[in-house]
Amino acid sequence: MEFFNLHTHKFTNQPGVLELVNQYPWEFDETIPFYSIGIHPWFIVEERLESDFEVLESKLQEPSCLALGECGLDKRIEVPMDLQQLVFEKQLLLAQKYQKPVVIHCVAAFQELIETIQKLNITVPILIHGFSKSEQLAKQLLENGFYISFGKYLLLNPELETVFKSMPNDRFFLETDTAVESLATVYALAAKYKGVSVEEIQELVNSNFDTIFKQINR
């Protein structure tokens, strides 16, 4: 593996790239080799939750499912927070049961996120995808044991350079999410910010992948 993409919504099947493709229970694609699966807070449908959770729990037991997610909390949508919280907590408990890392979507609810992880005593790795916030918040997340993934906002917001530079080498991942730019572009900018070669960034991410995904899924 030359490149690992922590979070993408599109399987591109490029040689040398392992893509963790985001899947939803209600539109699962069996042809995707490695994936995460979860109920995104944007797409919670109460009438469908029972069947969604049945599919989710079934797929979490498959070796090609590397993580649960994306799931989480979002205060800027109309889905009631109590319903979001209920669905999120149920998913976290499934991740703990099947020992899968969790890919997190979080908007304006980081304190609630941290409190929920602590309340439920979740010990599997928690990965914040698409980070775009402050160095102070990044530090708080790191102190609580989370991993942080950077992608399109690293490309779009030059102020994230300082945040990324401050990241410990054993606690970050890279991704594309829905960005039109390539994963190689993200890796190149990450290497520039860290003052190292792209090959060194690849080695760091591969090492982090081995720590989180290979050990916990084998």
Predicted confidence (pLDDT) per residue in 81-107, tens digit: 999 999 999 999 999 999 999 999 999
54, burial (CB in 10 Å: exposed 0-12, middle 13-18, buried 19+): exposed
Residue whose C-alpha is closest to residue 155's, from 122, 138, 178: 178
Q: Phi and psi dihedrals of 110, rounded to 5?
A: -70, -35
Q: Which two tokens stand for residue 105?
A: 């979507």
Please tell me the predicted confidence (pLDDT) of residue 94: 98
**Tally of CB atoms within 10 A around 214:** 11
Binding residues: 70, 105, 129, 177
All structural domains of the chain, each given as residue ranges with its CATH number in brackets, are 3-216 (3.20.20.140)
Please tell me the predicted confidence (pLDDT) of residue 218: 40
Please tell me the predicted confidence (pLDDT) of residue 215: 57
Binding residues for a divalent metal cation: 70, 105, 129, 177
Residue listed under structure tokens 């069947």:
51
Please tell me the predicted confidence (pLDDT) of residue 79: 96
Residues of the chain where predicted confidence (pLDDT) is lower than 50: 217-218
Residue listed under structure tokens 């205060």:
75
Please tell me the predicted confidence (pLDDT) of residue 56: 98
Distance (Å, rounded) from C-alpha 4 to C-alpha 46?
A: 34
